[in-house]
Amino acid sequence: MLDNKGFDLWADGYDEAVGLSEESNVYPFAGYKNVLGYIYEVIMEKPGAAVLDIGFGTATLTSKLYEHGCEVYGQDFSARMIELAQEKMPDAKLYQGDITKGLVPELHEKKFDFIVGTYSIHHLNDEQKVEFIKELLGLLNDGGKILFGDVAFDTREKLEQCKVEEGQRWDDDEIYFVLDELQQHFPGIKYEPKSYCSGVVVIEK
């Protein structure tokens, strides 16, 4: 797994690397544009929404929301990613922090209409995911939504099948969403598949 220094080094070529995977329709970024497009369309239904982006990277998604009037907040653990994102979104409130340790204190002072994370929450193990989602739900306005775009599967069986099919491409350091397991903790959770290995996890308050 890359640490924050690794992501600093990868930051400038990140969008290109994602694009190559997405265009080839291969794991892990197959369906990437559809994932981001779905999240964007949901958020655009509420003009001027307050949005928290977890692990925003180079702000591919968040900068579009920013341009269309959203109030943007974010946390990422790469100083270089934050630097690149801040250039695109001068008035966004962006903080450096490791999500395995939760959100930075400043973000607990605000309520959000949407909390998003695209290809970032897989750095948390299954237990950490549950605790983190509970933390995030406490920061949502009534009717707000958590939207996680990532590699995800309906069942553990489908995950294991994909793992076998991908072989050496599969990243054992990343822990992906399994919906029927999360439903035990969040009964109202929904999943919108966008490729054979990815989609959007939706949790509404």
Of the CA atoms within 13 Å of residue 61, those in its CB half-sphere come to: 31
Judging by beta carbons within 10 Å of its beta carbon (0-12, 13-18, 19+), is residue 169 exposed, middle or buried?
Answer: exposed
pLDDT, tens digit, 9 for 90 and up, residues 97-127: 999 999 999 999 999 999 999 999 999 999 9
| Three-class SS state of 93 | strand
Structure tokens at 46: 């509420």
Cα separation, 172 vs 46, whole angstroms? 37
Q: Is the pTM value of this prediction over 0.85? A: yes
Low-confidence residues of the chain: pLDDT under 70: 1-24
Element (H, E) at 182: helix 179-182
pLDDT, tens digit, 9 for 90 and up, residues 128-151: 999 999 999 999 999 999 999 999
Residue 8: what residue type? D
